[in-house]
Amino acid sequence: MSIDRRSPTPLYVQLKEHLLSQITDGLLQAGEALPSERQLCQEYMLSRTTVRQALRELGREGVINIVPGRGAYVTGLRPELTVAVSLAGFTGDIQRAGATPSSRLLSAELTTKPPVAALQALGLPAGAEVVAVERLRLVNNVPLALHIAYLNHKLCPQILQHNLAVISVFELLRDKYGLRIVRAEEQVYAALANRRELELLNLTYPAAVLRATRTTFLDNNAVIEYSLATYCGEWYRLNISLAEPGKYP
């Protein structure tokens, strides 16, 4: 394939479509590394800026996964994902949708200075100990969401001793701490991704995302978790069931 510099189609789009055709034709398999940026620049006589833009577009569509310092790897074509959100937590919801969930732990700490909104939602005074856990959520190894959860430390002491990149927090709360999660209130709204979200979710500016804030309650009406999540808006779908008044589950 040669780049047509007389074509009205931008150069990065031509490169992107060529790489995409190699993936759809099976010439590049899932898990296989793409040529390096330098190799692509030399082979197609393109600037690094043009090559990076083509790779970012493929990353935004979930076709490749860009690993800083290592390169770009084929993930396959990104399907749309429709999730029936429940109190089972991210792992359970994604598994029920027929996909494979995983998480990358970005940070986990005990803090006395969480956001004011978290303290208010948890019903805690200033200076109270709060567990803050931030994870990158992946589906079939493709970044889907950036999620940060704030937990009332008194209700789940020493939870940071567990591998929260692998173990579901909700499973720990139920199985280890004996807490009964009964309901949650969630608000979802559209927004534009910020710089950090663009990088972590492999999005290209400007990118639409779904933001969600959730407050999770126990059977005694205490709040165990306040969370913030940012989802890739182009391929994540929420499935919400509605019921007649008085017939809510």
Same fold: 11-74 with 81-239: no
Task: Please give the pLDDT value at position 248.
Answer: 45
The amino acid that residue 182 corresponds to is: V
pLDDT for residue 38 is more than 70: yes
Higher pLDDT, 233 or 129: 129
**CA–CA separation, 35 vs 71, rounded Å?**
8
> Residue 117 belongs to what H/E stretch?
helix 116-122
Over residues 177-187, mean pLDDT: 93
pLDDT band at 105, cuts 50/70/90? very high
Task: Please give the pLDDT value at position 78.
Answer: 55
Domain 11-74 is found in CATH 1.10.10.10: yes
Higher pLDDT, 68 or 173: 173
pLDDT for residue 197 is more than 80: yes
pLDDT band at 247, cuts 50/70/90? very low
**Cβ(112)–Cβ(96) below 8 Å:** no
Task: Please give the pLDDT value at position 24.
Answer: 80
Over residues 179-201, mean pLDDT: 91
For the chain, the average pLDDT equals 86
pLDDT for residue 162 is more than 60: yes
pLDDT band at 41, cuts 50/70/90? very high
Torsion region of 57: left, alpha or beta (phi above 0 gives left; psi -120 to 50 gives alpha): alpha
Higher pLDDT, 227 or 21: 227
Instruction: Output the CA angle 33-34-39, nearest 5 degrees.
Output: 130
3-class secondary-structure state, position 207: coil
Task: Please give the pLDDT value at position 116.
Answer: 95
**CA–CA separation, 87 vs 69, rounded Å?**
37
Q: Which two tokens stand for residue 249?
A: 């589950």
**CA–CA separation, 81 vs 238, rounded Å?**
9
3-class secondary-structure state, position 27: coil
Task: Please give the pLDDT value at position 91.
Answer: 76
Task: Please give the pLDDT value at position 244.
Answer: 56
Q: What are 72-92's pLDDT values in tens digits?
A: 888 755 556 677 777 777 777
**Cβ(2)–Cβ(37) below 8 Å:** no
- Listed range (20-24, 75-79, 135-139, 175-179) with the worst mean pLDDT: 75-79
Over residues 215-231, mean pLDDT: 95
- Listed range (10-14, 18-22, 243-247) with the worst mean pLDDT: 243-247
Domain covering 81-239, topology: Chorismate lyase (3.40.1410)
**CA–CA separation, 166 vs 182, rounded Å?**
23
- For the chain, the structural domain boundaries read 11-74, 81-239
Higher pLDDT, 126 or 102: 126
